[in-house]
Amino acid sequence: DGGITQSPKYLFRKEGQNVTLSCEQNLNHDAMYWYRQDPGQGLRLIYYSQIVNDFQKGDIAEGYSVSREKKESFPLTVTSAQKNPTAFYLCASSADREGATGELFFGEGSRLTVL
Amino acid sequence: QQQVKQSPQSLIVQKGGISIINCAYENTAFDYFPWYQQFPGKGPALLIAIRPDVSEKKEGRFTISFNKSAKQFSLHIMDSQPGDSATYFCAASIEGNTPLVFGKGTRLSVIA
């Protein structure tokens, strides 16, 4: 089935460690996104990529890094510089290159807990 | 700066009643307004969307009302059912230009 796969679903990390969240899509979408969800805060954009080998910062990019070496993959690294990394992370993709009007398809999320 | 303000934060509705969630935006350049539905532990999914050339769009029990002059749009869920219990997010974007900006969400509980 086509869709977006995020892994791992749950992840625990010690303070000071980097962690990478995986996002893979087989929808042949050009654009991919990472959002962070906190209770009562909605979805906040971390990074997005409209084409391979190119990506832009979102509203809360500090402490995060991404890469887009393949069209179907958009991993997110949560670095030790991120002050409050415990959150639910959502990856999404869209067929529209700008990603502004096309439907966003979301994965089921990765819940990161820093111990 | 919060570009899309959503209210209420939580809502409890009796089964069969009407659920109403409101959103207001600031950027007059926004021209695409979707609503997403999210069940616990899942990613959001598109529910319904509207563009400002119409004032209302209906899909089944779900209706978006749009007021361009007031810069507001709302989601109405008619005949609300327990299965509608979820978190709802409004969003906005500038067509072909920017990623979606989301509201903070409304947690809807429909009780029997």
A28-78: pLDDT as tens digits = 998 999 999 998 889 999 999 999 999 999 999 999 999 999 999 999 999
Average pLDDT over chain B, rounded to an integer? 94
**Could you read off the pLDDT of A82-112 as tens digits, one per residue?**
889 999 999 999 986 554 456 899 999 999 9
* pLDDT value of position A81: 87
Question: Residues of chain B whose C-beta is under 8 A from some C-beta in A?
Answer: 6, 9, 32, 34, 36, 41-46, 49, 89, 93-105
Among residues A68, A107, A69, A114, the alpha carbon closest in space to that of A89 is found at A107
In A, which residues are within 8 Å of B36 by CB distance? Answer: 104
Interchain CB contact of A88 with B (< 8 Å): no
Taking CB atoms and an 8 Å limit, are A109 and B46 in contact across chains? no
* pLDDT value of position A103: 84
SS3 assignment, position A112: strand
Q: Please tell me which residue, A94 or A2, carries the higher pLDDT value.
A: A94
Give the chain B residue nearest A90 (alpha carbons).
B43
Q: Check pLDDT > 90 for residue A115.
A: no
Q: Check pLDDT > 70 for residue A19.
A: yes
Give the chain A residue nearest B99 (alpha carbons).
A100
Q: Check pLDDT > 90 for residue B98.
A: no
Secondary structure of chain B in HEC code, one letter for each residue: CCCEEEECCEEEEECCCCEEEEEEECCCCCCEEEEEEECCCCCCEEEEEECCCCCEEEECCEEEEEECCCCEEEEEECCCCHHHCEEEEEEEECCCCCCCEECCCEEEEEEC
Taking CB atoms and an 8 Å limit, are A101 and B44 in contact across chains? no
Residue pair B97/B33 in contact by the 8 Å Cβ criterion? no
Residues 6 or more apart whose Cβ sits within 8 Å of residue B45: A106, B36, B37, B38
